[in-house]
Structure 1
Amino acid sequence: MIHSETTVGLVATPPDHPARVTARLAAELADRWTVREGWGEVAPRRDGGAEALLDDVARRRADEGWDVAICLTDLPLHAERVPLVAQASTRRRVAIVSLPALGLRQLAAVREIVPDLVERLLGDASDDRRPAAVHRVIGDDEARYVASSLIGRVRLLAGMILANRPGRALPGLSKLLVGAFGTAAIALANSSVWKLGEALGALRLTVIMLLGLGALVTWLIVAHDLWETAGGDTSVELARLFNLGTIGTLALAAAVCYLVLFVGTVLVGALLIDTSVLGEALQRPVHLTDYLTLAWLISSLATVGGAIGSGLEDEETVRAAAYGYHPEPGGWRDER
């Protein structure tokens, strides 16, 4: 149903990942309603959960003169111990959507759920309609859209990592890669490492790789103080979710760096170590798998060495990987 005279306010808080989703959604909803965009707080209120956000958005709606308002946030929210996807208050004519609870296909899910929320606030929603990301709807005036317990939690964590944009952490790990490549170059010239790579099986190499990546992530969190602690306006559950989001973001960024290091080590190893030289050290014919195994071991060892160099990274760049950290969006302007 088209209500071109109805003004719908879309508020993004914080003005980071949610703002990008809001910008794309606003253009698509413009043919149904008059849409206005706005930014919320860079650090949205954590105390009070969904109710605190609804109160803030209700005040914003009244100040702006909007008919209804929808807030898109990257805060992970819960209701009845399961992820909260959205909550709508017909009394206040506002609703909030927790983007992480929508998983990886957030834009597609938002396209489905926001029109339903607007129509509910306008009194036009059908009780039979339920977006795909929603397991069930609780309540009437204060309708809460919740996800399933197991799949919803997995989707929430994946959505948090997506909202945290792991690509932002990659520039902050540039010195790590430089240090790791330096360590790998030294290890490639050591014939003892060649023999060690042959002696270790796939299981041991996998354990070494996981330990190396785990050490790197741990070092980044400790060295740059990325661990969220409960207290003040941050509950134990919210701190736990923030830390899981930070670990997931760093683990994904570290895995990408590891893959780059592995590919580079394979190429350098193939150029540096002739098959005859490697075969003489191993005392058997050499195959491609030998170079891959050697690069696998060296990349894992070099990752630990590179972690030391990561402590010298730019603090602001690395802190972008912390889920609860949102830098001021320089150059962005709220429509207010």
Structure 2
Amino acid sequence: MAINERHRPEVIVGLVATPPDYAAEVVARLATELADRLAERVNPNVRWTIRQGWGDMAPRRDGGVEALLEDVARRRADARWDVAICLTDLPLHTERQPLVAQTSAQRRVAAVSLPALGLRQLPALRVVLPDLVGRLLPDVSQEWTPLPGTATGLTSQVTAVQGVVGEADAGELGYVASPLVGRMRLLSGMVRANRPGRALLGLSKLLAGAFATAAISLTSSTVWEMGDALGGLRLTIIMLLALTALVTWLIVAHHLWEKPDRETPAGLARLFNLATIFTLTLAAAVSYLVLFAGTILVTALLIETSVLADSLKRPVHLTDYLNLTWIISSLATVGGTIGSGLEDEDTVRAAAYGYHPDPGGWRDEQDA
């Protein structure tokens, strides 16, 4: 068995993460299983070797996919890989449509935009990567050889891919999403790549300040009466205003707004800002729910029904506790913005889509 393994031809596939942040985590997860998937879907008679590499911290945004392909082609040649695929969290476009993947058969490289795959990126990549490798290396593929002018199976296997554009004869193909649904999927994928959970953990001081404000508010009978007087509509408006104020304050105070410049076109800056807003909104909403749950528990423990009834001058029901918790949580969210100004700058800036923190140790994998 060892002899057969030694004599099987080796094919080296390089996975390059650009920039080395979220994309590097995806590469690390896929690298452990990609060889088996290539053997299963492309050719079991070769020895697949997977190499990992990390791209630039701030890739050329204005160059789009062509800049990524040129960079990964140089890396493939320098490292002597047979084929290289770049995974990036940059949103890419071609012919005003979101670009899911781009291949260059002549250079034997491809680029995949992770956000364009939507929320379920890993399952989609498990289909996309073997397909791309097989088409970039048709001489080792036993399943099919792509013919000039034919569309690929990605359009039927991956929901995000709706069509193929480019020069099939030259092997320069782009796999695009639909203009409308594809843009919605792209934005959701950007929020997924931005990791709202990281933003939520970064707002720990905000939650501490909010809980402190809630504790003070619980002792005020005026707040009790406000919760009783305000209806559901006004409580909803107050909650939305509090969350809007918090998100706006985070963006302004920590300079999270992306401005167009020479390297960032206006359209790309808008996408970055939308992803940042949605990421912070999701993190703020989850923080609000955590605050609400903690506050209602404390309210039920500290405020006796009889005491609240004496203040409201009527019998108390469960909805009264809920309304009281609602108004206190909204007021505490506004108070929590003071705590948000004390957050670590890098921790909060990680919520900005155009910002990539120092990867802290990512290195190109060296051959043994």
Q: Is the 8 A contact 1:14 1:44 kept in 2?
A: yes
Structure 2 matches for 1:154-233, cutoff 5 A?
154-233=184-263
Residue type at the aligned position of 1:52: A
2:28 aligns with one of 23, 48, 51? 23
Kindly provide the amino acid, as one letter, of the partner of residue 218 in structure 1.
Answer: T
Aligned to 1:9: 14
| Aligned length, in residue pairs | 334
How far 1:331 sits from its partner (Å)? 3.1
Provide the residue aligned with 1:135 in structure 2: 162
Q: Deviation digits for residues 262-316 of structure 1, max 9, x if unmatched? A: 1111011111211011112222221222111111111111111111221121111
Which of 86, 91, 114 is the aligned partner of 2:129? 114
Residues 14-163 of structure 1 aligned to structure 2 (within 5 Å):
14-31=19-36, 32=39, 33-123=48-138, 124=144, 126=146, 127-130=151-154, 131-139=158-166, 140=168, 141-163=171-193
| Structure of greater Rg | 2
Q: Which ranges of 4 or more aligned residues in structure 1 deviate by more than 4 Å?
A: none
Q: 1:205-234 deviations in whole A, cap 9, x for unaligned? A: 111111111100100010011110001210
Q: Give aligned-pair identity as a percent.
A: 72
Listed one character per residue, the Cα deviations across residues 12-40 of structure 1 (whole Å, up to 9, x for unaligned) are 11112111211222222213232211111
In the TM superposition, residue 128 of structure 1 has moved relative to its aligned partner by 4.7
Question: How big is the shift at 1:109?
Answer: 0.5
Superposition deviation, residue 202 in structure 1: 1.7
Tell me the distance in 1 between the aligned counterparts of 2:222 and 2:34: 64
1:311 aligns to 2:341 (yes or no):
yes
C-alpha contact (below 8 Å) 2:53/2:363 kept by paired residues: no
**Unaligned residue ranges in structure 1 (runs of 5+):** none
Distance 2:72 2:152 in 1: 27
2:130 & 2:55 partners in 1: Cα distance? 20
Q: Is the 8 Å Cα contact of residues 18 and 74 (structure 1) preserved in structure 2?
A: yes
Do the aligned partners of residues 4 and 112 (structure 1) sit closer, same or farther apart at CA in structure 2, a change above 3 Å counting? farther
**1:281 equivalent in structure 2:** 311
Letter in 2 for 1:239: A
Q: Give the conservation status (yes or no) of the 8 Å contact 1:4–1:34.
A: no
Q: What is the TM-score with the length of structure 2 in the denominator?
A: 0.87
> TM-score by structure 1 length?
0.95
Q: Distance in 2 between matches of 1:289 and 1:238?
A: 46
Deviates more, 1:278-287 or 1:318-327: 278-287
How much is the aligned-residue C-alpha RMSD, in angstroms?
1.5
Structure 2 letter corresponding to 1:129: G
Where do 1:251-330 residues align within 5 Å? 251-330=281-360
**Within-5 A mapping of 1:242-253:** 242-253=272-283
Contact 2:17 2:24 in 1 (8 A): yes
Q: Structure 2 stretches of 5 or more lacking a match?
A: 1-7, 40-47, 139-143
Amino acid at match of 2:153: R
Change (3 A) 1:128 1:163: closer
